């Protein structure tokens, strides 16, 4: 019979496997942790949860270091490009703000237009939004038109001039074909002092959006 | 519904292929794809949206492509089942494999030495005698006391080994070749279990298992073949899972490092795959023990059937049997037919003449 080994090996292959796995795991994790620290950039993020259609002020923002891989494409990083714009969806605290979550950059005239307004959403067809060419930030005239009748052969139309288009959203419920609601919802900024008039008039009138060339 | 589909599919493809290769590969590629998608920043809802927006033809092409990939990899896995088994047994031929083999063999040789009861008892008895001799010759009081303690320790160990003889023998039987085959030790547990079964017929009857097994298999009853096939299938399944888990661990680890994914995701995939592979290997070790036992049983119970099939008369004594198998071995390996053999008449098997 062969002589037993004088020296007992300290580890089996199983032990070596477990040990090498632990070491490789820790080294890999350490490398990724280090890379994350190296690749951080400073961006502006909300310091509180922002609701949809809220105008962002500088006091709503804070600067934060975020790993590059956590920054989505089309992130708006600078405070100057975020402030005074309004949100079109709710944005969570400390999350990067992307271009799609914000309305357009506003000119001074547009900012003035938004003063003392309330937001209303109206259902719209593809034709009403000019085949998809009407964009948030555009100005439209809203005409509320009543059909002629025996009682009122020449009904008076109501006009809301130079109304700011805040947002245009596709109506997802229609894509399933379950109901026959229009495909789009147009969010408009109506002067606050004409809110009641608008609400009263829209129930029995047809809405026409017109865009000046 | 799924049962019906499975029944239909298993009519075309063997159920063994589906369970041992196709489904593990399907799970493997699915999981790997998920890791790639998650690490690339895709969200589930976003993925579903993109998928729904695609053209039906494109969807069909993608599904066919995925199934082709899974089927191809499953075919490769199934065709390499024997090579995979050999790998886990410890038949290695890759760079630095010699070093690994030495480490593994050294470890298991030490374990085997612990199971070599006669040798251990001899050594302990010898050490006890030496201690007693030293004790009787010693004059110093302190040294005498120390030698007494040492002697008590050795006597206790001797008692422990004697009491655990049965347990150690069982372990040796199931997990290792006999201590006299120390040089045949393999670097892995699975390798030693199968080596033990391979050497078992030689130890008992001097049957060369590798040579005789393929012939013996043809005379085994259907029930026995079914049990062996099932045991082997379980072993192959566990090894396929272990292999795919370790490949997943490696591939996902490298991918996640290259895309600089979050550390927690890397650890989850790398360690998760390794742990899964380790558990599957442990399961394979248990399955290998069951398979090895069935191989031993086949030799114990059906070797006479093979002798009869060779139209030889079964031996009457253990010594005759050993001689008979030695002659059969010479016939198969060297083509030397013993001149003393007389074949049995297949019609009157019971009254044939004695061989050798």
Q: What is the pLDDT of residues B271-317, one digit of tens each?
A: 999 999 999 999 999 999 999 999 999 999 999 999 999 888 888 89
State residue B277's pLDDT score: 97
Coil, strand or helix at B9:
helix
Q: How many domains, in total, are found in chain B? A: 3
Question: Is residue A177 left, alpha or beta, with left meaning phi > 0 and alpha meaning psi from -120 to 50?
Answer: left
**Distance between CA atoms of residues A185 and A134, nearest Å:** 12
- The mean of the pLDDT values for chain B is 88
Cβ–Cβ contacts within 10 Å for residue A73, how many?
7
Q: Which pLDDT does position B2 carry in this prediction?
A: 46
B315 & B203 share domain: yes
Is the same domain home to B203 and B265?
Answer: yes
Of B166, B186, B206, which marks where a domain is finished? B186
Verify whether the Cβ–Cβ distance A13 to B110 is below 8 Å.
no
B231 and B308 together in one domain: yes
Q: Is B183 on the interface with A (CB under 8 A)?
A: yes
Shared domain check, B118 and B32: no
pLDDT tens digits in sequence order for chain A, 213 residues long: 344 444 667 788 999 999 999 999 999 999 999 988 888 889 999 999 999 988 899 999 999 988 887 788 889 988 999 988 999 899 999 999 999 899 888 888 888 888 889 999 888 888 888 888 888 888 888 888 887 777 777 778 888 888 899 999 886 554 444 555 568 889 999 999 888 888 888 877 888 888 877
* pLDDT tens digit sequence for B169-220: 888 899 999 998 989 999 999 999 999 999 999 999 999 998 899 999 999 9
Q: Supply the range of the domain harboring residue B130.
A: 97-186
Q: Across the interface, which of B179, B261, B271 has its CB nearest the CB of A25?
A: B271
Judge if B160 and B209 occupy the same domain.
no
User: Could you tell me the CA-to-CA distances from B98 to A150, B93, B104, B105 in Å, in that order?
Assistant: 104, 8, 10, 10
Stretch (H or E) spanning B43 = none
Q: For chain A, report the end-to-end CA distance as a whole number of angstroms.
A: 103
Domain termination site, one of B148, B171, B186: B186
- Strand (E) or helix (H) holding B116: none
Mutate to test the interface with B, among A3, A6, A9 (most CBs of B within 10 A): A9
B200 and B328 share one domain = yes
Q: Which residues of chain A are within 8 Å of residue B116 when distances are taken between CB atoms?
A: 1, 4
Class of the CATH-defined domain A40-101: alpha beta
How far apart are alpha carbons B279 and B241 in whole angstroms? 9
Contact B278 A16 (CB under 8 A): no
Together in a domain, B217 and B320: yes
Q: List phi, psi (to 5°) of A55.
A: -80, 130
Confidence class of residue B355 from pLDDT cuts 50, 70 and 90? very low
Pair (B179, B211) in one structural domain: no
Is the CB of B278 less than 8 angstroms away from the CB of A39? no
Whether residue B199 is found in the same domain as residue B321: yes
Provide ipTM, 2 decimals.
0.79
Q: Report pLDDT for B129.
A: 86
**B175 and B232 assigned to the same domain:** no
Contact between chains at A32 and B260 (C-beta distance less than 8 A): yes
Query: Are residue B271 and residue B226 in the same domain, yes or no?
Result: yes
Minimal Cβ distance to B103: which of A4, A16, A32: A16
Query: Does residue B342 register a pLDDT over 70?
Result: yes
Q: Is residue B281 situated within a structural domain?
A: yes
Last residue of a domain, one of B145, B160, B186: B186
What pLDDT does residue A32 have? 93
Note whether residue B19 is domain-resident.
yes
- Residue range B36-51, pLDDT digits in tens: 998 887 777 878 888 8
Task: Give the three-class secondary structure for A150.
Answer: coil
Residue B51 placed within a domain? yes
Residues B20, B73: contact at Cβ < 8 Å? no
The reply to whether B178 touches chain A by the CB within 8 Å rule is no
Q: Are residues B300 and B267 in the same domain?
A: yes
CA–CA distances in Å: residue A41 to residues A66, A77, B94, B111: 6, 9, 45, 56
Q: So what's the pLDDT on residue B4?
A: 55
DSSP A160-185: EEEEEEEEEEE-HHHHTTSS---SEE
Interface of B with A in 186-205 (CB under 8 A): 187-189
Listed by start position, the domains of chain A span 40-101, 108-210
Q: SS3 of B227, please?
A: helix
| Contact criterion met (CB below 8 Å) for A5 and B110 | yes
pLDDT confidence of residue B6: 45
Report whether pLDDT(B241) > 90: yes
């Amino acid at each position: 019979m062969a002589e037993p080994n004088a020296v007992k090996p300290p580890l089996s292959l199983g032990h070596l496997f477990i040990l090498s796995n632990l070491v490789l795991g820790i080294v890999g994790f350490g490398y990724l942790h280090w890379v994350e620290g190296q690749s951080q950039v400073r961006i502006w993020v909300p310091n509180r949860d922002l609701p949809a259609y809220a105008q962002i002020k500088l006091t709503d923002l804070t600067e934060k270091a975020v790993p590059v891989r956590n920054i989505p494409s089309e992130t708006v990083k600078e405070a100057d490009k975020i402030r005074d714009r309004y949100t079109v969806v709710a944005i969570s605290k400390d999350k990067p703000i992307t271009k799609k979550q914000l309305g357009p950059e506003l000119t001074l005239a547009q900012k003035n237009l938004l003063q003392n307004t309330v937001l209303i959403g109206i259902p719209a067809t593809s034709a009403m939004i000019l085949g998809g060419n009407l964009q948030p930030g555009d100005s439209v005239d809203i005409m509320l038109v009543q059909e002629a009748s025996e009682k009122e052969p020449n009904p008076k139309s109501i006009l809301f001039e130079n109304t700011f288009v805040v947002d245009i959203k596709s109506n997802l419920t229609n894509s399933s074909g379950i109901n026959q609601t229009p495909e789009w919802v147009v969010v408009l900024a109506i002067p606050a002092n004409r809110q009641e008039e608008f609400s009263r008039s829209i129930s029995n009138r047809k809405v026409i959006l017109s865009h000046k060339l | 519904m799924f049962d019906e589909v499975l029944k239909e599919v298993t009519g075309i493809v063997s159920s063994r292929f589906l369970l041992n290769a196709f489904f593990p590969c399907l799970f493997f590629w699915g999981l790997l794809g998920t890791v790639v998608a998650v690490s690339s920043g895709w969200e589930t809802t976003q993925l579903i949206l993109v998928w729904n927006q695609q053209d039906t033809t494109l969807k069909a092409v993608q599904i066919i492509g995925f199934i082709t990939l899974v089927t191809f990899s499953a075919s490769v896995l199934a065709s390499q089942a024997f090579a995979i088994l050999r790998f886990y047994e410890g038949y290695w031929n890759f760079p630095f494999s010699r070093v690994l083999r030495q480490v593994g063999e050294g470890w298991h040789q030490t374990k085997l030495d612990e199971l070599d009861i006669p040798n251990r008892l001899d050594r302990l008895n010898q050490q006890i005698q030496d201690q007693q001799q030293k004790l009787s010759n010693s004059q110093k009081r302190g040294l005498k006391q120390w030698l007494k303690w040492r002697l008590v320790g050795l006597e206790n160990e001797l008692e422990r080994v004697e009491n655990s003889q049965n347990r150690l023998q069982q372990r040796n039987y199931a997990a290792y070749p006999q201590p006299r085959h120390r040089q045949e030790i393999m670097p892995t547990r699975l390798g030693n279990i199968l080596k033990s079964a391979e050497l078992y017929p030689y130890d008992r009857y001097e049957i060369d298992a590798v040579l005789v097994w393929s012939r013996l298999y043809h005379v085994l009853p259907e029930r026995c073949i079914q049990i062996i096939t099932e045991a082997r299938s379980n072993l192959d399944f566990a090894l396929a899972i272990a292999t795919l888990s370790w490949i997943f661990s490696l591939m996902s680890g490298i991918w996640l490092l290259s895309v600089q994914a979050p550390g927690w995701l890397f650890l989850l995939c790398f360690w998760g795959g390794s742990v899964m592979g380790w558990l599957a290997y442990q399961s394979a070790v248990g399955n290998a023990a069951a398979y090895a036992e069935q191989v031993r049983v086949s030799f114990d119970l059906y070797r006479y059937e093979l002798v009869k099939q060779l139209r030889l008369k079964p031996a009457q004594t253990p010594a005759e049997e050993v001689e008979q198998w030695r002659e059969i071995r010479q016939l198969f390996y060297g083509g030397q037919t013993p001149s003393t053999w007389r074949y049995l008449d297949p019609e009157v098997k019971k009254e044939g003449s004695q061989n050798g």
